[in-house]
């Protein structure tokens, strides 16, 4: 039986706007992400995508689940416990590369274990494994700003995985990458996710990316963002890139786009087909 991993209930958040006005970013958002998705008996966290137009409150929602911001009303539970702030059970990957520029690739990945009291000798095998898993062999001693955007995002993913978070929150992590690198990174992410069994909540405004990655897609309306659809994605795992050519994939694209168009105020969603 699947257990609820993340539960977001009746959550609203507004910000101070110009001339004393309020900008309502999110309105009464509720959804749940399951703990285990195991069609073949394997224990695997669910891969959920929050899809919606720019400015609909996706980042705000993710930041609140990470404990970096707080709702005005409503609540967020992870494993049944209210989120009061950041915690080691949740890791976050941002669009902007967030590695420490003064540390090498290996030291960036070892950083989380180190501040949690794990010695370099103890974390060495894990760091080596993660470097291999994200395809950075040979770059252990490189500094992040000497690497391409895709490679820097590989470092960020490995850094997050090194803390063994149960939940990984990803805020448009491939948004700044070119199409080819983005496709490569999507495959890489699915590969490492299937190994880690973490629950992933991934934010994007790209329909193709959402369908390729997700077990389920939550569609947000334009601001104030609210969940307007919860769409299960029927493709199995592992997922090969050529599913994008399948008739069923195109049908999903049309279905997801139709849902986005039905959502109030949307229409500026970028699609890559
Ligand atoms: P998305 O990630 O979907 O693009 P965001 O969550 O970044 O959307 O922003 C949603 C809305 O909330 C936007 O109108 C944005 O300007 C506003 N907003 C977000 N954070 C703040 C803040 N700290 N102060 C004021 N307004 C904010």
pLDDT tens digits along 101-156: 999 999 999 999 999 899 989 999 999 999 998 999 999 999 999 999 999 999 99
pLDDT tens digits along 240-251: 889 999 999 999
Residue nearest to atom 13 of ligand 1 (CA): 55
Q: Residue 272 pLDDT more than 60?
A: no
Task: Output the pLDDT for position 35.
Answer: 75
Closest by Cα among 178, 217, 204, 207 to 272: 207
- Cα angle, residue 93 at apex, residues 90 and 98 outer, rounded to 5°: 120
State which of 11, 12, 14, 15 you would mutate to test the pocket of ligand 1, scoring each by most atoms of that ligand within 8 A of its C-beta. 15
Ligand 1 center to 178 CA (angstroms): 25
Atom of ligand 1 nearest to the CA of 52: 3
Q: What is the mean pLDDT of residues 157-185?
A: 91
pLDDT tens digits along 32-68: 998 765 555 555 678 999 999 888 999 999 999 999 9
State which of 60, 63, 95 you would mutate to test the pocket of ligand 1, scoring each by most atoms of that ligand within 8 A of its C-beta. 60
Atom of ligand 1 nearest to the CA of 53: 3
Q: Residue 265 pLDDT more than 70?
A: no
pLDDT band at 262, cuts 50/70/90? confident
Ligand 1 lining (C-beta closer than 6 Å): 15, 23, 25, 52, 54-60, 223
Closest by Cα among 38, 42, 43, 46 to 6: 46
Task: Output the pLDDT for position 267.
Answer: 43
């Amino acid at each position: 039986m699947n257990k609820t991993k993340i539960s977001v209930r009746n959550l609203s958040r507004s910000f101070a706007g110009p001339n004393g006005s309020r900008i309502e970013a999110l309105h009464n958002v509720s959804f749940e992400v399951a703990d285990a998705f195991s069609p073949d008996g394997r224990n695997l966290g669910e891969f959920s995508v929050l899809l919606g137009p720019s400015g609909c409150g996706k980042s705000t929602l993710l930041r609140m689940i990470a404990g970096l911001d707080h709702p005005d009303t409503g609540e967020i539970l992870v494993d049944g416990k209210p989120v009061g702030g950041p915690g080691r059970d949740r890791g976050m990957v941002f669009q902007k590369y967030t590695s420490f520029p003064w540390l090498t690739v290996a030291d960036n990945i070892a950083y989380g274990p180190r501040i949690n009291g794990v010695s370099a000798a103890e974390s060495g095998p894990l760091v080596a494994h993660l470097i291999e898993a994200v395809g950075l062999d040979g770059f252990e001693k490189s500094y992040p700003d000497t690497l391409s955007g895709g490679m820097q995002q590989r470092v960020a993913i490995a850094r997050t995985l090194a803390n063994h978070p149960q939940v990984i929150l990803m805020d448009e992590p491939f948004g700044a990458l070119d199409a080819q690198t983005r496709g490569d990174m999507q495959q890489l992410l699915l590969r490492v996710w299937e190994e880690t069994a973490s629950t992933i909540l991934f934010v994007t405004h790209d329909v193709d990316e959402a369908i390729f990655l997700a077990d389920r897609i939550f569609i947000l309306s334009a601001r104030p963002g609210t969940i307007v659809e919860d769409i299960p994605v029927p493709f199995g795992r592992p997922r090969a890139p050529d599913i994008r050519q399948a008739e069923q994939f195109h049908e999903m694209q049309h279905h997801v786009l139709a849902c986005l168009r039905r959502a109030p105020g949307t229409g500026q969603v970028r699609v890559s087909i």
